[in-house]
Amino acid sequence: MAETRALEGRRIAVYVSGSVAAYKAASVVTALRKQGAEVRVAMTAAGARFISPITMQSLSGHPVATSLWDEPAAQDAGHGMTHLALAAWAELQVAVPASADLIARLALGLADDAVTATALACRAPLLLAPAMESEMWSHPATQSNLDTLRGRGAVVVGPTSGRLASGDEGPGRMVEPDEVVAAVPGVLPGVPAGARWLDGERVVVTAGGTREPIDPVRYVGNRSSGKMGNALTDEALRLGGRVILVTAAPPPPPRHGLTVVEVGTADEMLAAVRAHLAGAAVLVMAAAVADYRPAQAAQRKIKKRDDPFDLALVPAADILHALRDDDARRGAIVVGFAAETDNLLANATAKLAEKRLDLIVANDVSSEGIGMATDDNAVTIIGRDGVVAEVSRAPKREIARAVFAAVHALHHRR
C-alpha cells in the first residue's frame, strides 16, 4: 500500500514526560515522520529516565531538548534559547505520554523545564495523550487540570482502560500510538477539508449488552463488552462530534465532548435514546439489546431449589423498531448492527429494510476471536443499495473508522 504523507512539511513538537508509556512516544515520532511531518522532541527529566534522548534524537533527526540550556537543540531550531526556539517553530504540540505531573504543571502555567517553558511560550494547539494509574486519573485534581487545559483549547485523546504499570486493570492506560497520530489532522491548523466533518454535530451511540432482571441479583444478558460502542465513540469524538454514549457497559473515562448515560435494561436504553435523539446527525446502535426479558422480575432473590426452574420470557423492547417512525430521528443517519451466526447478508439486509436503517454493520459472531468481548471484529457494511464495504479481521477502532467513513459518504450526499 502506498504510504500517505498527509502531514508533509508540518512542524510538530513532541513532549515526552515520565511514564512507563514513554516507549510509545518512539512509535508516534516514527509514524509522524512517515507521514511527512518534521518532528522535534522535548523531554522532562523523568521522561528521559524512561526512554533515552539519544533514541528520540535518532528517530526525530534533531537534537532533543532536555533542559532550558540545551544549546544544540536551540541552535538546531534557529534561536538562542531552547524553549523560545521550539515554541516559535511548532505548529502543533503533542504531549505523549502526558503524565499527571505534566498535566498539572501545564494547567498551572509553570515553566520550570524544557517542556513546560516551551508549552507556556507556544501558541500552537496542544494534543495530550494521558497515561497514569487509575487512582491518579480519577482524582478530582487531575480532572480539574484537564478541564482547565480543555478550556484553553487542548484536545485530549484517551486514556483507555487496560493493564497498567502496577499490574492493575482500569482506566489510565495510554491509547496506542496510531490513535494519537490519527488525532493529529483534527487538531493541526489547516487540516484537509472534511477531516473533522462532524464538527459540533450531535452523535448518539449505544453500547454494551442490556441486562433484563430475573430478581435483584440475576439477569438475562449477553456477552457484549461495549468495546465496539466505545471505539465508535472515540472515532466520533476524533471527527469533532459531540457524543451522547448510552451504555449498558462500564463507562469509558470522561472526555471533552462526551456525555455518558448509563442504563441497564432495553426499556431504559430506549428511553435514553429517545431523550437525546432530537437534533442528532447520526445514531449508531451498536448495543446488543436483549431480545427477550422475564415476564415478571421477582422483588426478592429466588432461592435455589432441587426442582426445575421455569422462566417465562416475553419480547424486550425493540429499540430500532420503536424509533422507525419517530419524528426525533428525522434527518439523522441511522446505523444498526446485526450479530448473526448464519445467513449473515440475508438476515442483515432484511433487518436494514425492516428497521428503515441507512446502514447496517453485519458480523458473524460464530467466528472465533472476533465479535463480542474481543478486541477485533470482521464486518460487512451494507447500505440500501447493497454492500458498501467489507472489513476483514481488524481492531475495533479500525472497524469504527470504516463505519464512519460510510456514514460520511451518506452525510456528504445529503
Burial class (CB in 10 A: 0-12, 13-18, 19+), 377: buried
Which among 90, 92, 72 is positioned nearest to 81, based on CA atoms? Answer: 72
Rounded to whole angstroms, the Cα distance separating 48 from 17 reads 8
Q: Confirm whether 222 is a catalytic residue.
A: yes
How would DSSP label each residue in 259-279?
Answer: EEEE--SHHHHHHHHHHHHTT
Phi (first) and psi of residue 50, to 5 degrees = -95, -30
Burial class (CB in 10 A: 0-12, 13-18, 19+), 213: middle
Rounded to whole angstroms, the Cα distance separating 345 from 338 reads 9
Q: Read off the C-alpha cell for 231.
A: 471505539
Rounded to whole angstroms, the Cα distance separating 17 from 19 reads 6
User: Which residues are within 8 A (CB) of 389 and not within 5 positions of it... i.e. 6 or more apart?
Assistant: 380, 381, 402, 405, 406
Which listed residue (222, 230, 363, 377) is catalytic?
222
User: Any idea which residues carry the catalytic annotation?
Assistant: 222
